[in-house]
C-alpha cells in the first residue's frame, strides 16, 4: 500500500447517525480524501429505515444513487422506483427525492456535484460528522470540527447557525447565542424563519437573549 491509492470496504467506514437518528452516513469522501466531487454511502440498517433523506438539491447539484446491496424504494418526484442492487437512480437538480430501505442492511452510494462548477467540499459533511461526534460523546472532537468548518466556510449564515445548534445541544448557552447572533446578522429573515421552530434551540427559549432576537 502507498499513499497514491487506497483499498477499502464500504463496511470499513464509520457509521454516523444523524442527530435525529433517522439517517446513517458512511463518510466515504472524507475518509479517503476524494476531491473531484461528492461521494458518500448511506445505510439503512433495518427495512423501513430512511436511506436518503427527503430533499431537493436547490443549489443545482445533480445526483446519482447506486444501490450496492439490499433493496430501496426511491421516490423521485411523482415516480416510485423499486431499486435492487445494481440499480442507478439519477436525480436532476431540484427534483424532490428520498429512499427508504425495503430490506435490512441496504447500502446506497450517493454521488453529486454541480454541472459546470469546480466542486468544493460542502460544509454539511463536516457539520454532520461534528454532530455525530457529539452524539457519540466526543463533543470536544465535534466542536473542533465545527470551529475548523467555520474557518473554511466564512461568511455564510448556515455555518454559525449550525454552530449555534451544536452549542445549544451541548448546553453552552453563551456560545450558542454568540453564533446565533452572527447568523442573525447575516440572514435575519431566514433565521427568524428557521430558529423558532428548531428543536435544537428549545432550551434557549426562556433566555432573555432569545427574546431580544425573536421578540
Partner 1 sequence: MTHAHVDELDRIELADGFEWRPVRRRFGIRAFGVNAYAPGATGQIVEEHSESMLGHQEIYLVLRGRARFTVDGNDHELAPGELVFVRHPSLQRSAVALTDDTIVLALGGKPGSAHEPSAWEAMFAAVPAAREGRWADAIRMHEEALVEQPNSAPLLYNLACMESRGGRPLDALLHLTRAIALDAKWAEHAAKDTDFDPIRSEPGFPS
Write out the residues near partner 1 by the rule CB under 8 A.
Answer: 1-11, 32-37, 39, 61-62, 64, 66, 68-69, 74, 76, 79, 81, 83-91, 107, 109, 111-119
Comparison of 1 and 197: residue with beta carbon closer to partner 1:
1
Comparison of 81 and 190: residue with beta carbon closer to partner 1:
81
Comparison of 87 and 156: residue with beta carbon closer to partner 1:
87
Q: Is 14 within 8 Å of 28 (Cβ atoms)?
A: no
Instruction: Report in angstroms how near the CB of residue 41 gets to partner 1 at its nearest.
Output: 9
Comparison of 2 and 155: residue with beta carbon closer to partner 1:
2
Instruction: Report in angstroms how near the CB of residue 152 gets to partner 1 at its nearest.
Output: 15
* Collapsed DSSP state (helix, strand, coil) of residue 214: helix
* DSSP codes of every residue in 141-183: HHHHHHHHHHHHSTT-SHHHHHHHHHHHHHT-HHHHHHHHHHH
Burial of 91 (0-12, 13-18, 19+ CB in 10 A): buried
Instruction: Report in angstroms how near the CB of residue 15 gets to partner 1 at its nearest.
Output: 14
Phi, psi at residue 74, to the nearest 5°?
-95, 140
Instruction: Report in angstroms how near the CB of residue 109 gets to partner 1 at its nearest.
Output: 7
Comparison of 41 and 168: residue with beta carbon closer to partner 1:
41
Phi, psi at residue 61, to the nearest 5°?
-75, 140
Helix (H) or strand (E) holding 52: strand 50-55
Instruction: Report in angstroms how near the CB of residue 57 gets to partner 1 at its nearest.
Output: 10
* DSSP codes of every residue in 112-151: EE-TTS-----HHHHHHHHHHHHHTT-HHHHHHHHHHHHH
Instruction: Report in angstroms how near the CB of residue 189 gets to partner 1 at its nearest.
Output: 30
Comparison of 96 and 136: residue with beta carbon closer to partner 1:
96
Amino acid at each position: 500500500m502507498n499513499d497514491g491509492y487506497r483499498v477499502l470496504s464500504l463496511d470499513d467506514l464509520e457509521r454516523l447517525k444523524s442527530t435525529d437518528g433517522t439517517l446513517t452516513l458512511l463518510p466515504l469522501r472524507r475518509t479517503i480524501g476524494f476531491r473531484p466531487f461528492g461521494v458518500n454511502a448511506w445505510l439503512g440498517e433495518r427495512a423501513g429505515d430512511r436511506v436518503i433523506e427527503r430533499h431537493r438539491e436547490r443549489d443545482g447539484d445533480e445526483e446519482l444513487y447506486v444501490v450496492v446491496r439490499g433493496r430501496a424504494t426511491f421516490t423521485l418526484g411523482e415516480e416510485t422506483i423499486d431499486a435492487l442492487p445494481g440499480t442507478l437512480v439519477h436525480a436532476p437538480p431540484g427534483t424532490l427525492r428520498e429512499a427508504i430501505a425495503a430490506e435490512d442492511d441496504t447500502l446506497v452510494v450517493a454521488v453529486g456535484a454541480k454541472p459546470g462548477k469546480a466542486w468544493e467540499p460542502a460544509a454539511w459533511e463536516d457539520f454532520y460528522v461534528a454532530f455525530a461526534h457529539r452524539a457519540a460523546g466526543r463533543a470536544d472532537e465535534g466542536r473542533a470540527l465545527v470551529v475548523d468548518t467555520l474557518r473554511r466556510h466564512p461568511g455564510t449564515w448556515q455555518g454559525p447557525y449550525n454552530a449555534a445548534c451544536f452549542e445549544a445541544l451541548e448546553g453552552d448557552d453563551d456560545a450558542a447565542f454568540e453564533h446565533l447572533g452572527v447568523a442573525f446578522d447575516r440572514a435575519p429573515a431566514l433565521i427568524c424563519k428557521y430558529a423558532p421552530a428548531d428543536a435544537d434551540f428549545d432550551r434557549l427559549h426562556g433566555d432573555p437573549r432569545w427574546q431580544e432576537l425573536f421578540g
